[in-house]
Structure 1
């Protein structure tokens, strides 16, 4: 019931006087209560064509009722607002009471400037994209007296449900009490504040609410209301929380793996044997609190199993290669393979170096500590470091072991420079030794028969990345000593990184017979498979084992080379292979010096020093520095 109806019905003569006054008002006045027209003055009955007997539904007689009903709902009790109806005749002013509303229809377009400003502000507040709520601190518990449409959209509550209540209904179990206290203190101090807190919608779903509260003062500086602005910042807040969680996880990961990386790197650098290296790596990983254990296995072709070479923290047995196991799936692949075995997560990391497979490192952890993507990167790098360390141990054993495997194979891939040159220049190339150039790269010395320097140079110029430099050409013997270099690592250099020593290469008519040696305990199969993969068409001619003598010619040469500088060794090798010690000499000291890009006196100084060291090595005299 509105104020007009109260005056008429409850106060007798006073109500009649009010009615009489309204009847003389020239603007149409209509009162509604609970969806029913309770009063219409004469101007309304005449100007709006309303019936004399009021009491009907406003929707049936007022064309603009849809707009008016919405605006009445949005108007706080005890307040009024201007409503533009889009009507040529009238706009409206809505006065909202506790039980109903009175609507005064005013001529359209004739609102005073102040009224127009007020209407614009009301419309802006109601249609603002952020939630707006107004409370009245003069009433008990500082209840809401107004909310705009966005407030309802954000929270799911409508005006009828929340007006008259304190806004704490938005709080719930996960609302931070500290943030609520900050708002309560700001209200008590009558000052603005902004907080972020978790609130609850009407359907119970949580959302992050950025709330800004500010006091509203009257002309005397007294606080009459508080206005609150709600902004749903759930997406941003969740992104911030996720970022912080990832940051915390990364910090924990880095803290954990930093020591692991350092320790494993130290093991790789300091171990004296492959078995020690593998055992120490497993022990260090198993000591990490996040992991339960680790083991290293290697494929045994004879039994077709993945044999356990070292383990720590877990009891494991050899695994059949055809078993569905993370380690067997990882041994031939580049990607990390994850899987559950006996209730424990296993992550497999291939131990591969320069295309040679040395087995697989498997890390075991409970499901809650399973290896994640960031750890995969770290552990994959550790596996590569371990494989590099194993390769270094295997390579060094070729000079220490008494038992070696000699492998002979025919290579026909034209990517091998001697193969292509022997076919294109119709000649024979025989490998002598590898040398280090002054430019820092590595080249190989070959003796060439059947082709001149010009013919060989023409054939080399037609090949990409191949460089041939003549050293000595023996006219009478139709022999040519050349220095052969390639942009990519050559066959000899590539084999050396896999623990193999190249003993000889003889290339004829597009086929190179290569003889190499590997320690008997090395993974000969993996090296040969890598060679066949790199150079398709490679045919293995023979495998044989032999025991090395107490000191081989190669070991004697290695002992001598260790006592020579690079320049001394280069001068001695060029002098010998160039026929400098023969008579008559096919090459002069000047020519050999030019092949090394040094002066003739410097060449002879290096040569004489090398000859002296050779004599000392031969006659077992103590080596002296020169």
Structure 2
């Protein structure tokens, strides 16, 4: 071979017109991963590894009479090669260039561009979901909003939302959108059975669950894997709809690509799940607040899972729950107790021994009892009732019986809620009645006043009230109330002043309107 060809920075082969390699330089041998002395005399088809189209050997089926250029991937070499054929007198020169690094750089750039595009679309999409959730007023609208926004997009194939049945892991399909194919049919069938769906696992864990390869992940029921394969689906993300310790449902998002959900997307969807859970909670509260008619449910709750039941058994005294403030995965409760000469400390000690109780504090004493602050985990009958949009109107536990009265909006499946509570705990329904809201004007007044407050202001005022902060002498200091809320003293005082100002403004404005309904807004 010519010395210049031997020293060339690219691979060079000298091939006869009928396709027999005469010679090649060291670079060509290296590119083709063959020994330098093993190319001469070999057919071109043996020197070149197989590619998808076999372009180089095919070019010598008839003697080449014009320049040709090919670019192909060679799996055996794991390389991209650019091959130029240049016919000359009685010889064809084959030039080889390894373009693997360039191809991989381009693939990386394409991947980054794709990720950036997907991230941009995803962020805009999730922003739209969050924006629409703010205006959704019912649970049906919330479910339809999520499905419409996620399912009818270019980056996801379809989405569905399921609602969690109270007190169990069962979920019921609420809405779906997108190209659901046969996969959604199989999901609905699985919901009626006992299949271990990824969506159910997301509810149990309370965090997003990803299946990166639907066809290969054996944790997914086989019927769904087969349907997903037929529908061309590659992966899914299941996101629980949560607020505090309550899980209201789940959204399942399906995509055609495997590994379609990046870590950043999972975090973003976690935000959507929390926002949707908050929206569902707010919708339930609003439903109760604005309902003309409500359901009043009276239950006997004698389950030892309730700390009040256990404490009554130990102390033989009566406990009245006067205030319940949900705080994420815990409930902050204030109770009044009737005790003997031992005082409320004995009841507080008995309550503190219960496994669900985090902390207790004696707030105040009086002649025949006292007040106690109690922090307990939300996984109790009271916590379950509150998580379903109920309002605890009264709760009394004592030797004469245990009674809990809760209000629920008519839009809730009251029978299902009652069945779930009585199935899970030692409880029974004593009475159920439907009534008009105007039968309780006090409740309406309270709801109207608290509607002006932020959640934090209401929480601060409610906690301070039940902790006897406003009594004289005070049953709790500002520091103790702030500690119960997990905030600083100055922050507590800020919330109290802001809340009191709003309540007084509502009171005096309402009084002025009653006294002089024609009074102008400027006071004249």
3-state DSSP class of the match of 2:425? coil
Tell me the distance in 2 between the aligned counterparts of 1:198 and 1:280. 47
Consecutive unaligned residues in structure 1, runs of 5 or more:
1-75, 79-132, 176-196, 212-229, 581-588
Extract unaligned runs of 5+ from structure 2. Answer: 16-21, 54-70, 83-95, 203-208, 211-219, 482-492, 515-520
Q: How far apart, in 1, do the equivalents of 2:422 and 2:395 lie?
A: 16
User: Matched residue of 1:289: which SS?
Assistant: coil
TM-score norm. by structure 1 comes to 0.50
Q: Distance in 1 between matches of 2:191 and 2:467?
A: 55
Q: Deviations over 1:57-109 (max 9, x none)?
A: xxxxxxxxxxxxxxxxxxx999xxxxxxxxxxxxxxxxxxxxxxxxxxxxxxx
For residues 32-63 of structure 1, what are the alpha-carbon distances to aligned partners after superposition, in whole Å with 9 as ceiling and x for unaligned? Answer: xxxxxxxxxxxxxxxxxxxxxxxxxxxxxxxx
What are the equivalent positions in structure 2 for 1:36-47 lying under 5 Å apart? Answer: none
Within the candidate set 255, 258, 265, 2:120 is matched to: 255
2 CA distance for matches of 1:594 and 1:300? 42
Shift of 1:264: 0.6
Q: Distance in 2 between matches of 1:151 and 1:342?
A: 43
Equivalent residue runs for 1:544-555 within 5 Å? 544-550=432-438, 552=440, 553-555=442-444
Structure 1 residue aligned with 2:40, among 162, 168, 177?
162
Deviations 1:278-336 (A, max 9, x none): 333333234412345555465899xx995655656779999698725799956644256
Structure 1 425/520 Cα, relative in aligned 2: closer, same or farther at 3 Å? Answer: same
Aligned: 1:206 with 2:77: yes
Give the drift of 1:341. Answer: 7.3
| Whole-angstrom CA distance in 2 between matches of 1:274 and 1:488 | 23
**Counterpart among 127, 130, 139 of residue 274 in structure 1:** 139
163, 170, 189: which is aligned to 1:323? Answer: 189
Residues of 2 paired with 1:210 and 1:523: CA distance? Answer: 67
- CA contact under 8 A between 1:395 and 1:496: conserved in structure 2? no
SS of the residue corresponding to residue 372 of structure 1 reads coil
Partner of 1:426: 316
1:79-478 paired onto structure 2 within 5 Å: 155-157=33-35, 159-162=37-40, 205-208=76-79, 246-291=111-156, 294-296=159-161, 309=175, 311=177, 323-324=189-190, 329=197, 332-334=200-202, 335=209, 339=225, 340=227, 344=231, 349=238, 352-353=241-242, 358=248, 361=251, 372-374=260-262, 377=266, 382-383=272-273, 385-411=275-301, 414=304, 416-434=306-324, 443-450=332-339, 452-460=343-351, 462-463=353-354, 466-475=358-367, 478=368
**Alpha-carbon deviation of 1:432?**
0.9
Q: Distance in 1 between matches of 2:394 and 2:351?
A: 21
Count of residue pairs the alignment pairs up: 419
Q: Contact 2:302 / 2:426 at 8 angstroms: preserved in 1?
A: yes
Pair 1:466–1:232, CA change in 2 (3 A): same
- Measured at CA, do residues 550 and 531 of structure 1 come closer, stay the same or move farther in structure 2, by a change above 3 Å? same
RMSD after superposition: 6.0
Q: Distance in 2 between matches of 1:568 and 1:539?
A: 32
Is this contact kept in 1: 2:308–2:351, CA < 8 A? no
Note if contact 1:391-1:499 (Cα within 8 Å) is conserved in structure 2. Answer: yes
The one of the two structures with greater contact order (alpha-carbon pairs below 8 A, sep at least 6) is 2
Aligned residue in 1 for 2:68: none
Residue 537 of structure 1 pairs with residue 429 of structure 2: no
Determine if contact 2:81/2:99 at 8 Å carries over to the other structure: yes
